[in-house]
Structure 1
Amino acid sequence: MAIFESITSFFTDDDAATTVALFNHSRPHARTPVFVCLPAMGVAASFYTPFAEALAKATAGVAVLADLRGQGSSPALARRGAQFGYHEIVAQDIPALLDAIAAQFPGRPLYLVGHSLGGQLGSLAAVHAARRLSGLILVASGTAHYRAWPQALRWRARMTVQAVRFVSALLPWYPGRLLGFGGDQPRRFMADWRHNASTGRYRIAGSRIDYEEALHDVALPVLSVELRDDPVAPTGATRELLAKLASATITRRRIDGVTTDAPWRRHFSWARHPDAVVAEIVAWTCARSRRVANACVERDAA
């Protein structure tokens, strides 16, 4: 059965509306899973097409690719004056997207998959949308906190944070495409990123929610797929993010990634050669399906 792709727009804010690609490998009326995939900072969702296709095929399900606000096909570009931060993405965009996908595929297990910053934003969005989700999948994702990096790299991480602070204050927007880190982003978005990078905590401008406390209460199954020797999401950063999800049931897996690539490239290149990540997701979701089925049998027997 061939995979087909349909393009539509789900976001509620017309100025931020983005195209959404669906890779559907399921039969009509199937109950196979649906995965909504969020990209890393500055990366277009289309970069993950090989991953989405492989995941949909391996699960006989659906994989959805969506650009973050201001990235990829989104017209809300920082260089055109768009102003937004984490708040619009985690409290508006992602919950609206999940609502739309859940309505299109009712009764299907729905998983939120996030790579790098996409995993952070997905975790924060779960504060608002946990009722929609069957689980959260983090790939090469950890906090941006410079103190969570290995001691030998910590000075470089701190210098990056300070450079972002300086450039963001000097220019109308952060020119990440020019600097080679993070893509073009509005000042407020980078202020939210910088607060986490400086303190390890999430304090989101424009929101009254204490996300540190709210993350503690997110009681979802979580799969964390980590890359060995990843310089962008090192072990300490992943550990720090997972520690915030204190009520979650967490499974951690580690893979090598594309070993022919340099460590920095490995953080991204798994998406183009996704078999190892897909295998971990398939194993985890299948194990969860069996546990859910067994629990239902035991409940009915009682």
Structure 2
Amino acid sequence: MNGDPEYAQEFVDVDGGRLGVQVYPEPPGVTGAPVVVIWPAMGVRARYYRPFAAELLRAAGLAVVVADLRGTGASTPTPSRADRHGYAELANDVGAVLAALKPRLDGRTRLLLGHSLGGQASLLHLALHGTDEVDGLALIAVGIPYWRTYPGRRGLGVLPLTQGIAATAALLGVWPGWGFGGRQARGVVRDWAYTARSGRFPRLDGTDTEAAVRAVRTPVLAVSVDDDQYTPHETMDHLCAKLVDAPVTRERYTVAQAGATLDHFTWVRAGAPLARRIAGFVGDLPPR
């Protein structure tokens, strides 16, 4: 245990580092509960999701695991000039955590829940490495930050901002986290900026990632959030349009539903209705 009784801190070894994984206690009174594996947003530590995981998802009858993205929180390596990992490694990391959890997942429904960059990594894992070990995917406040999809004149600011961040990361060898996203490997920033510029996922390890995403058939719950300053509803629509073979349930999480103000991050702390919706989605997945 890590001293915090709400979860056990574990680690999964991967090439070039290790991933911090927080395993929450089973929901009370439930045997063989479905398991939700949460992947965070860029630069956001796994601990940020503790209220959503410990209080809301578990109350809805779900077992919860939260992993730190590579280079964030308890996960290593710390982004530096020597570390060039990008989207391919993030997608591989999802598989490594699922493999490590396999003894605890066997026979149980499994849901990947990705927030922002964590949602992209989760989807890319399914696209590149298959879907047999996952029953469903929940994308919360996830989108392709393609500059042309932003409403009004916002896109005119998104393009220079994203490309400027990528240029800085290329020049310095790492993104220092100046006002956005936390410290990041230049490979992550490169791939993220490509999506913002082109509206497409980059080729990864020689694979046509766009074609691979189109072939995903895992059921998807795609929820955009009101007043999201980074991935507004239109960016989620652009992503969902790529999922031509998957059954997609497309929804919006509104201020009225939450009973609180919302943005790209604060939905985590105003997510009781959303947690119940996720539990309902999991309950409707075909039994394993």
Normalised by the length of structure 1, the TM-score is 0.86
Aligned to 2:183: 184
CA distance 1:28–1:11, shift in 2 (3 Å): farther
CA drift at 1:81:
3.1
Aligned to 2:216: 218
Say which SS state the counterpart of residue 23 (structure 2) adopts.
strand
Say which SS state the counterpart of residue 87 (structure 1) adopts.
helix
Contact in 2 for aligned 1:196/1:203 (Cα 8 Å): yes
CA drift at 1:138:
0.5
Say which SS state the counterpart of residue 165 (structure 1) adopts.
helix
How is 1:129-140 mapped onto 2 (pairs within 5 angstroms)?
129-140=130-141
Aligned to 1:72: 73
Distance in 2 between residues matched to 1:93 and 1:37, nearest whole Å: 13
1:275 equivalent in alignment to 2:277: no
Aligned to 1:105: 105
Distance in 2 between residues matched to 1:275 and 1:27, nearest whole Å: 17
How is 1:29-178 mapped onto 2 (pairs within 5 angstroms)?
30-79=31-80, 81-90=82-91, 92-127=92-127, 128-176=129-177
Q: How many residues align?
A: 281
Q: Which has the higher helix share?
A: 1
CA drift at 1:155:
0.9
Distance in 2 between residues matched to 1:116 and 1:10, nearest whole Å: 22
Distance in 2 between residues matched to 1:166 and 1:50, nearest whole Å: 36
Distance in 2 between residues matched to 1:130 and 1:55, nearest whole Å: 27
CA drift at 1:185:
1.2
Instruction: Return 5+ residue gaps in structure 2 as ranges.
Output: none
**Could you say which structure has the larger radius of gyration?**
1
CA distance 1:11–1:147, shift in 2 (3 Å): farther
Aligned to 1:19: 20
Instruction: Return 5+ residue gaps in structure 1 as ranges.
Output: 297-302
Indicate the RMSD between aligned Cα atoms, in angstroms.
2.2
- For 2:55, the aligned partner's letter is A
- For 1:140, the aligned partner's letter is A
1:196 equivalent in alignment to 2:198: no
Say which SS state the counterpart of residue 59 (structure 2) adopts.
helix
Distance in 2 between residues matched to 1:144 and 1:71, nearest whole Å: 21
Contact in 1 for aligned 2:113/2:137 (Cα 8 Å): yes
Contact in 2 for aligned 1:4/1:25 (Cα 8 Å): no
CA drift at 1:16:
1.9
CA drift at 1:4:
4.9
Contact in 1 for aligned 2:39/2:67 (Cα 8 Å): yes
Please list the CA deviations of residues 24-55 of structure 1 after superposition, one character each: whole Å capped at 9, or x if unmatched: 22479923210000000111111111111134
- For 1:7, the aligned partner's letter is Q
Distance in 1 between residues matched to 2:200 and 2:272, nearest whole Å: 33
Contact in 2 for aligned 1:95/1:129 (Cα 8 Å): no
Aligned to 2:238: 240
Say which SS state the counterpart of residue 89 (structure 1) adopts.
helix
Say which SS state the counterpart of residue 252 (structure 2) adopts.
strand
Distance in 1 between residues matched to 2:270 and 2:10, nearest whole Å: 26
- For 2:279, the aligned partner's letter is V
Say which SS state the counterpart of residue 112 (structure 2) adopts.
strand
Contact in 2 for aligned 1:47/1:272 (Cα 8 Å): no
Contact in 2 for aligned 1:201/1:212 (Cα 8 Å): yes
Contact in 2 for aligned 1:225/1:280 (Cα 8 Å): no
The structure 1 segments of at least 4 consecutive aligned residues displaced by more than 3 Å after TM superposition are 26-29, 257-261
CA distance 1:10–1:165, shift in 2 (3 Å): closer
* Sequence identity (%): 33
CA distance 1:65–1:170, shift in 2 (3 Å): same
Aligned to 1:300: none
Moved more, 56-65 or 24-33: 24-33
Say which SS state the counterpart of residue 265 (structure 2) adopts.
helix
